[in-house]
Amino acid sequence: MDLFPLWNSLRIASISIVIVFVLGIIIAYWVKKCPRIIKGILDVFFTLSLVLPPTVIGYLLLLIFGPNRPIGQFFLELGIRFANDWKGAVLASVFVSFPLMYRTVRASFEAFNEDLASAGKTLGLSNLYVFLRIRLPACKNGIIAGSVLAFARGLGEYGATQMLVTYSKNTATISTTIAFLRSGDKDAEAMVWILINIAVAAVFLIVINIFENRAKRRNKVHD
């Protein structure tokens, strides 16, 4: 059995979560500090891909990053191709999973006790130190939960990827492999990959539950 689709899915999800992790934290913190009206507009913009059909997202990405488009040609000159390449699957995964990271982290930042940050600044600590050593540790449960959700979403992404990346042995993921096998009436092989997908998803759900239970126990202790 060729396990490339599993390896490729994990590779795509791992690279995309690194990008989503950094962007999610930075953008969530930036939006949190914006005025209410601007915050509302930005919140809609950054979470729009959460409610759009994945095929729409994939089509828009193809219009923007396709090889015949200015941005797509720019990346081609840098040796990066998105259309019909596994890197395109990374791009699709970033766009569909980002809202999960962003919303979860922003909720944690909103719940953060700003008195802790003020106390740190009163002691002469820099904004960067307060952000890295006080704010992020205090919000770590939300950050971890958002990361796990975004990773799991990226791992199971199909619609946007299918629009941007044609299925082949070099671009196959778990989701696209299942669709390909089903279209060829290879139900038994498709079921194997479905079970693999369920097993991987279950692992990440268990991780989420573990962190939620730890957070509840800590809250009880503090109460």
Q: pLDDT grade, residue 8 (50/70/90)?
A: very high
**Which tokens belong to 167?**
């299925």
Domain range enclosing 36: 4-213
State the sign of the Cα–Cα–Cα–Cα dihedral 62, 68, 74, 76: positive
- Residue 38 CA to residue 31 CA, distance in Å, equals 8
- Output the CA torsion 153→10→92→46 (10° steps): 50
The answer to whether residue 137 sits within a structural domain is yes
Question: Which residue has 């006790």 as its token pair?
Answer: 113
> Is 76 contained in some domain?
yes
- Report the CATH number that the domain containing residue 57 is assigned in CATH: 1.10.3720.10
Confidence label for 223 from pLDDT (cuts 50, 70 and 90): low
Q: Report how far residue 173's alpha carbon sits from residue 102's, in angstroms, rounded to the nearest whole number.
A: 25
Is 221 a domain residue?
A: no
In a domain, 220, yes or no: no
User: How many domains is the chain built from?
Assistant: 1
What digits encode the pLDDT tens for the residues 18-71? 999 999 999 999 999 889 899 989 999 999 988 899 999 999 999 999 888 999
State pLDDT tens for residues 180-221: 998 888 889 999 999 998 888 888 778 777 877 776 676 666
d(CA 207, CA 205): 5
